[in-house]
Structure 1
């Protein structure tokens, strides 16, 4: 175990360590220009092939890590098995073929641990090399990743910690336990280093490496751009806030308008990029408001970026009609909106900052200006009541604009969240730990459990149709703007079909129909609607062909087996 020491001692230790790294960086940057590039130490950054219901997209995190490591003088190879559709064997072969390999970094979720562990095993069977895991999954499940064969886990944001780890491994006399955010095994026990501060000034980061940009453009995927990090919300279910709490520092940080537009301009001029996905967890936090929107719009206009389009994720209580008007005028065409629920009591349990009135106004503004809305919903948690379900059904039937990924949604109880602690404290709730790492539960109210199971069966029977239909809007795809409306129309038809079934099941539960009988009726309804969903799937495929896009994803693993 390492000595925790005082705050001042740790600060001095980090300063010393970073000073050594800086000297090392200078030495590396001053290497002889005649030296063959293959003589430099290489770091492989990879993403395992993922059996997910999401379609592959650019991994911006690896891009930031690669750019930071290259500034430190390392040779970096990004091997994105998910985006490049590489088989397990192809990823392993690419890694072991790299010259002067110093370290392998694997970005993973807890749900992809099995694939990641297989990568570790097969790489280590061929070469002896340190392998480190990073990302949301390893941050909250470091013990699982270490047990799976990883040498190290880096918790939290990785730019500082991975650069420091690389310096430690490439130099002698430095102590691994002093790498900020590191987890490792020592004498069979997990040793955790203290967390570093997050990157406060995002403009100080280099633009992310774009090694996979041509694969992204070829697939008609958007170019991912991060304009901020974190969120100021306090939702009890949110893993973003839990991740941010791993660091000392500000909960939400932003890049300057000029820095953002500099990157957009570079991507447009160098690669012809026009369609962007702003991957921020919360795009509009204070001080971003109407003045900021004007500044951003004006800067795009001054740079001649008048034909771009972009998608975001926003909070309802941060929108005004003026903000939506300004941003939609400079390319904002789609957004995720975390409504979560249309019942006041349910929102209170979630500790949501936005009210029902905020959500209605946001919907009104976005529809008025033609910004497509993927409505984030959490219909069920363990304390959901029939009254809350009826309140949701009533409002959902009145909405004419948003689209969803299906009617069945529940609180996902992620590790490290306040909801996880709350649920674990509830002995009256039936619960268990999923093989994917999150907590699963059943609603406490028997009638609600009837509706819960029926909607899950219904959703699971055609979840791939929902995911396929909404993908061009939410991914989004770089297609003609007129085509988004065609996909939107299909999503709205699916939405209406869901609500018809939701209303039917809710009536059955209210009348005391048994769970078995409701499930039997659900399967009858699934069979009756099967041809409708098959016809809609064919429509989507034809639209994909017209737009020149493909779709490749697995059924949603969080819904259980079909």
Structure 2
């Protein structure tokens, strides 16, 4: 008997030409771009570590990290574990945007081991637990929120044939067919064991980054983000910290035992403008410097959190080399629509980007180029912000927003009649056929080349936008854009993660 944790392979590419997650990243990015991308699944690794600390044998099949190029390959890996370890009693799956892959795997697990219990976790599952449990009989449980304690207690109950009714943080079907859920647990992060590092040698061998987490949750409520939506379910406990000392202890261990010289801090938000978070970041730098750790790192931050150049210079001395910043768009109106007011109407993020670059810290941009009502002027302004960072990856020119089921954006698009398909990912269409044409042509131009050149892709992008402007002038449409500022900062010597 065994307990399994499974992450689907997260394939990319069109049907008939699918490729593994790792192959897709390496095709789109250069080694200097993807080396800081963390691909370990720290959630599954942390659940495995906690369960093992309670004496439960847990195996992990991570099709994404293992480079599987089909769901059939992941299914064979699951069967291999079962042959070695015995018939599984509990299988836990995770999912963000791989629900179709997951469903295929779940059905095969159910058909092969009809007495196994199957659970699903992560933000997508939490936000959509009612729909999942009513629509997929093969899934027995949805883990609500954090899984370390809940999944371990569920495993103990299943392995010992005990009722699961009182296991915290579990949604299930009641005897009458209704969906019921027990309250979630709120975990003290410093009491958890460090994540199991089964996958790290593979991650490093493939040229990606090892990772740690230092917080959970987020203070903010961007409409497109599942983390914020799940955080509302936890109320005042939605955002929590690990102690700085515990985090640096783990980084020191990874540096010593795995030879890590770069670590990605994988928090949804490591640095915000809140004084407490700024002070904590300073203490983190202090601790790294005090121990003399020779390690580089990156983290995620909001635009309004990177104004203290003295703090960033201190973090730079401690090893900060990259910051991922969710710039999103050049339209202030659209930022407001996303509930992401990290600048005022008269501020320009490019000025802050330039200042951070001048410190020797790369700003890796998160941008949303296309959304249903995008206009030409916004595309130009978002491109301007993208270029201010020095980021030069043409695939960013056709990024489009994803309406994840259960998020506020998904509900908004549904209410406005913008969704053409609502499951498992909210699919939408453009309000303007010209926008659809620009998106399709830019995507075809970039993906149709073995090694797309950013400058050539930018020229093609701007030509298509100009054609749209000529065919359909804005004529005073109410999209207020951020002011134009200098973007003359030198491009960094390396780019970063998407």
Fold shared by both chains (TM-score > 0.5) = yes
More deviation, 262-271/185-194: 185-194
Partner of 1:417: 407
Partner of 1:222: 209
C-alpha distance in structure 1 between counterparts of 2:234 and 2:112, whole Å: 36
Partner of 2:121: 134
Which stretches of structure 1, 4 residues or more, deviate above 6 A after TM superposition?
none
TM-score by length of structure 2 reads 0.80
- 2:154 is the alignment partner of 1:165: yes
Partner of 1:455: 439
Partner of 2:35: none
Shift of 1:185: 3.2
Shift of 1:244: 1.8
Aligned match for 1:279, one of 266, 269, 273: 266
Is the 8 Å Cα contact of residues 197 and 248 (structure 1) preserved in structure 2? no
Shift of 1:355: 0.9
Aligned match for 2:136, one of 147, 150, 159: 147
The within-5 A match list for 1:352-501 is 352-355=340-343, 357=347, 359-392=349-382, 395-396=384-385, 399=388, 401-403=390-392, 405-427=395-417, 430-435=418-423, 437-444=424-431, 446=432, 449-463=433-447, 494=454, 496-501=455-460
Shift of 1:94: 1.3
Is the 8 Å Cα contact of residues 102 and 169 (structure 1) preserved in structure 2? yes
Aligned match for 2:335, one of 311, 336, 347: 347
Partner of 1:117: 103
From the two aligned structures, give the one with the greater helix fraction: 1
Shift of 1:246: 3.1
- 2:315 is the alignment partner of 1:327: yes
Is the 8 Å Cα contact of residues 202 and 255 (structure 1) preserved in structure 2? yes
C-alpha distance in structure 1 between counterparts of 2:49 and 2:470, whole Å: 61
TM-score by length of structure 1 reads 0.71
Is the 8 Å Cα contact of residues 105 and 131 (structure 1) preserved in structure 2? yes
C-alpha distance in structure 2 between counterparts of 1:115 and 1:95, whole Å: 20
- 2:8 is the alignment partner of 1:48: yes
Partner of 1:179: 167
Aligned match for 1:246, one of 218, 233, 236: 233
Q: In the TM superposition, what whole-angstrom CA distance separates every residue of 1:123-144 from its partner, at most 9, and x where no partner exists?
A: 3444332121212332233334
Unaligned runs of 5+ in 2: 14-20, 26-38, 474-497
Q: 1:288 to 1:173 in 2, by over 3 A?
A: same
Q: In the TM superposition, what whole-angstrom CA distance separates every residue of 1:512-550 from its partner, at most 9, and x where no partner exists?
A: 279xxxxxxxxxxxxxxxxxxxxxxxxxxxxxxxxxxxx
C-alpha distance in structure 2 between counterparts of 1:138 and 1:166, whole Å: 18
Larger radius of gyration: 1
The within-5 A match list for 1:79-90 is 79-85=61-67, 87=73, 88-90=75-77
Describe the SS at the equivalent of 1:164.
Answer: helix
Shift of 1:280: 0.5
Aligned match for 2:288, one of 288, 300, 320: 300
Is the 8 Å Cα contact of residues 177 and 192 (structure 1) preserved in structure 2? no
C-alpha distance in structure 2 between counterparts of 1:513 and 1:422, whole Å: 26
Describe the SS at the equivalent of 1:336.
Answer: strand
Is the 8 Å Cα contact of residues 96 and 123 (structure 1) preserved in structure 2? no
Q: 1:188 to 1:289 in 2, by over 3 A?
A: closer
Is the 8 Å Cα contact of residues 335 and 371 (structure 1) preserved in structure 2? yes
Unaligned runs of 5+ in 1: 1-40, 470-489, 515-555, 557-562
Is the 8 Å Cα contact of residues 183 and 190 (structure 1) preserved in structure 2? no
C-alpha distance in structure 2 between counterparts of 1:350 and 1:271, whole Å: 40
Is the 8 Å Cα contact of residues 5 and 44 (structure 2) preserved in structure 1? yes
Partner of 1:61: 43
Is the 8 Å Cα contact of residues 303 and 349 (structure 2) preserved in structure 1? yes
Larger relative contact order, structure 1 or 2 (CA cutoff 8 Å, min sep 6):
2
Q: 1:425 to 1:134 in 2, by over 3 A?
A: same
Q: In the TM superposition, what whole-angstrom CA distance separates every residue of 1:366-394 from its partner, at most 9, and x where no partner exists?
A: 2112222221112333333444345445x
C-alpha distance in structure 2 between counterparts of 1:402 and 1:49, whole Å: 27
C-alpha distance in structure 2 between counterparts of 1:215 and 1:74, whole Å: 24
Is the 8 Å Cα contact of residues 124 and 406 (structure 2) preserved in structure 1? no
